[in-house]
Each structure stands twice: as C-alpha cells, then as structure tokens.
Structure 1
Amino acid sequence: MDELASHCDFDLGRAARDSSWITLQPEHPFMVLAGESSGGVFLAYGDGEVERRPVLYVTSEGQAGCIATNLTELIAMMLALPYWRDLLKFSEGGNLKEMRQAARFSEQDYVDEYAEFSAARKRILDTLPVPVIADPVKLLHDCVRATDCSVVAEDGWPYESLFHHFKSSDNPDWT
C-alpha cells in the first residue's frame, strides 16, 4: 500500500530480497515484511501465521527491538505515532515519562510539517481493519522493553537497543 510507504515509511517494495545478513539471537524463523527509506527493515519473527508474529525493527545503524506484538498492532501504532522513531531517540534510555514528553513535542512538529498525514491516516483506516490503541506510547515502550531477541552483526556483536539516551530537553527546538 503506497500510503503506508509514503506516510509511515513502511514500504513493502523495500522488503529485502537477501536477508542472509540477519541473524537472530536466540534463533527464530523470520520473514522480512517491509523496509524503510534509511535501510532499516521490519521482520515478523517466531512461529505461527506471519501477521500474528511479533515485529522486530532493525535499523541500518545497528539497533534492533520488538516494536509491536503483531502486524495489525504495528500499523495501528504507526498511524497513532507516525513519529515513533523520535520517541525512541528521545527516550532517555527507555523512560516512559520522557517518551510521553517527546510525544507532545513530536506531535506538534509532525502536524506542522506533514499536514496531509491526517487525510492519509483516514484513508488507511477506511481501507484496513486497524484498531485504535488506547495508549500507543506505552505500547511502544513496553514492546521495546520486552524485546526477547536481537540481531547479531556479521562480526558477532549484538545490535543495540532501540532506546537512545537523549532527552526531549536535548532538542533545542523543543522548549
């Protein structure tokens, strides 16, 4: 769906054809669902139907973590928090309160910069049966915190957590 690619950076066309570079620890079967513009990928991992598996986000910069318990939840979270990456970046190492603060600033930035997102979100919700998540910030926080596997680089080093150590006060545009 083009709307997910252009507005959520979840591009089915960017799903890696070669996933030989991905090694999960502990080992789990996985399937690359989509890619994103900076080279990261979204994987469904574990057993069972693909759309019911947890979703791992793997960045091209060496971070990885579970961001949703299934594909439907992932899409719902992306529609509720199109700036979810900023919440992880400004999470102060996984602090939920700090993520909520970053969400307040990010929401305003996103509304100002991407005015067309609201209409795109409505079109996606009219097309896909996606539930509304009561507390998407907490969902993202809890999923990343509960990550049960990681990616191991070809040199044997494990990828880092998706939580970064920045605080919202570290962004000079957020006051």
Structure 2
Amino acid sequence: MESLIAAVREQEEAARFLVWPGDFDLDRGDHVEDVHLASGAALEGFAGDGTGGTYFFCGEGGEERPILYADSEGRAALVAIGLPELVRLLLVAPWWRDCQAFTDEESRELEAEYLEDQPGLMARRDRAAAALGLTLPNPADALARLRAVATQSGEEFVLTFTPEGYTYEPLFTL
C-alpha cells in the first residue's frame, strides 16, 4: 500500500485542503523547541501548522503510529492513532482545536462559521477524500474518537521540553 504522506504530496487538491482549512502542512515538520517523550519512545516531527504547532509520530514504525500534536503555547495531546485517522479528522473537522467541549453543538457552530467563509468547503473536502481513497466519518464521530484518544493516552505520550525538563500542559481540559 502506498503511503498516505506520498498520496497527499501527489494529490494537489487534497494537499491544498489539508494546508487550509486543515492547517496541516507536510513541509513544516520541525518543532521550534527541543522535546522528547517522557517514556523515552521515539518522536518524529512530520508536519506542522501555521501557528508553530507540530504533529509527531510516536514510537517505532510507519504511518500507523500514534500521533501527538504540540502547539506553540506549550500544550500537547495525542490526537490520532495512525495517519489515516488524523487525515480523516482534518477533513471532516478542521476546527478540531477549537472544540474544547467536544460537543455536537460546538462542532456545528464552528462548521457553520467555516461554511460562511468557505461555501465550497464540503465539495473540496469530498474531492480531497476521494483523491486519497478515504471514507469519512461524520464530524461527531471523529470528535468523539479524538476525545477518546486525547483523554486516554496516559503517561506514555507526555511531551517534555528537554532543556528544562518541564512537561507540556494538556491541549484539552476536560
């Protein structure tokens, strides 16, 4: 099976959607700070966002590895188990960082704001998913999965600022 990263790089429309509104850029994988996982597991930055946040693969393996997101404000959370899960989340709920309560109502309000600014958003999303060969969950299911992953990840995925030894705060407060 072809890697999803390679597929995103090859599918220009999908890559553009992931950059915006997904705020996920495969050319921004360097984190601005020296960090490591408290567990000692491998940590590999592979993408970032426009605000200085970074997506990291955790542990050994390929695109099936757990993915940790760290923002530029010293907060982090496990956000997906594997790249396909993350890309599905970014496609159906690019507003995921603003869903602090993980409710359907909150997600629908954010979706309405995005659609107001970008009326063709859903058509673009559907074309991107088709180009990548992904079936999409509904936003409520994607956010429920995000909540489960982010809140049940445990000590294995605690991100530490290496020079000073302090740990990042949780990205979500539940």
Identity of matched residues, %: 29
Q: Secondary structure at the match of 2:77?
A: strand
The answer on 1:114 being equivalent to 2:128 is no
1:139: Cα distance to partner?
A: 0.6
Of the structure 1 ranges 99-108 and 7-16, higher mean CA displacement relative to structure 2 is found in 99-108
Given that residues 56 and 68 in structure 2 are in contact (C-alpha distance below 8 angstroms), is that contact kept between their aligned partners in structure 1? Answer: yes
Given that residues 87 and 103 in structure 1 are in contact (C-alpha distance below 8 angstroms), is that contact kept between their aligned partners in structure 2? Answer: yes
Aligned equivalent of 1:156, options 165, 170, 173: 165
Which one has a larger percent strand, Structure 1 or Structure 2? 2
Report the counterpart of residue 149 of structure 2 in structure 1: 143
Report the counterpart of residue 25 of structure 1 in structure 2: 38
Given that residues 44 and 54 in structure 1 are in contact (C-alpha distance below 8 angstroms), is that contact kept between their aligned partners in structure 2? Answer: yes
- Separation in structure 1 between the aligned mates of residue 32 and residue 65 of structure 2, nearest angstrom: 18
What residue ranges of structure 2 are gaps of 5+ in the alignment?
1-14
What residue ranges of structure 1 are gaps of 5+ in the alignment?
166-175
- Separation in structure 1 between the aligned mates of residue 90 and residue 126 of structure 2, nearest angstrom: 13
Report the counterpart of residue 132 of structure 2 in structure 1: 128
Aligned equivalent of 1:47, options 33, 39, 60: 60
Report the counterpart of residue 47 of structure 2 in structure 1: 34
Per the normalisation by structure 1, the TM-score is: 0.81
- Separation in structure 1 between the aligned mates of residue 160 and residue 53 of structure 2, nearest angstrom: 15
- Separation in structure 1 between the aligned mates of residue 105 and residue 166 of structure 2, nearest angstrom: 32
- Separation in structure 2 between the aligned mates of residue 122 and residue 55 of structure 1, nearest angstrom: 23
- Separation in structure 1 between the aligned mates of residue 105 and residue 123 of structure 2, nearest angstrom: 25
Distance 1:66 1:160, change over 3 A: same
- Separation in structure 1 between the aligned mates of residue 169 and residue 104 of structure 2, nearest angstrom: 22
- Separation in structure 1 between the aligned mates of residue 43 and residue 63 of structure 2, nearest angstrom: 12
- Separation in structure 2 between the aligned mates of residue 119 and residue 104 of structure 1, nearest angstrom: 17
Distance 1:39 1:20, change over 3 A: closer
- Separation in structure 2 between the aligned mates of residue 12 and residue 115 of structure 1, nearest angstrom: 25
**Which amino acid in 2 is paired with 1:128?**
L
- Separation in structure 2 between the aligned mates of residue 12 and residue 62 of structure 1, nearest angstrom: 21
Of the structure 1 ranges 105-114 and 58-67, higher mean CA displacement relative to structure 2 is found in 105-114
Report the counterpart of residue 93 of structure 2 in structure 1: 81
Q: Secondary structure at the match of 1:31?
A: strand
Given that residues 19 and 32 in structure 1 are in contact (C-alpha distance below 8 angstroms), is that contact kept between their aligned partners in structure 2? Answer: no
Count of residue pairs the alignment pairs up: 155
Listed one character per residue, the Cα deviations across residues 36-92 of structure 1 (whole Å, up to 9, x for unaligned) are 0000000111122x210011000000110111111000000111111101103xx2x
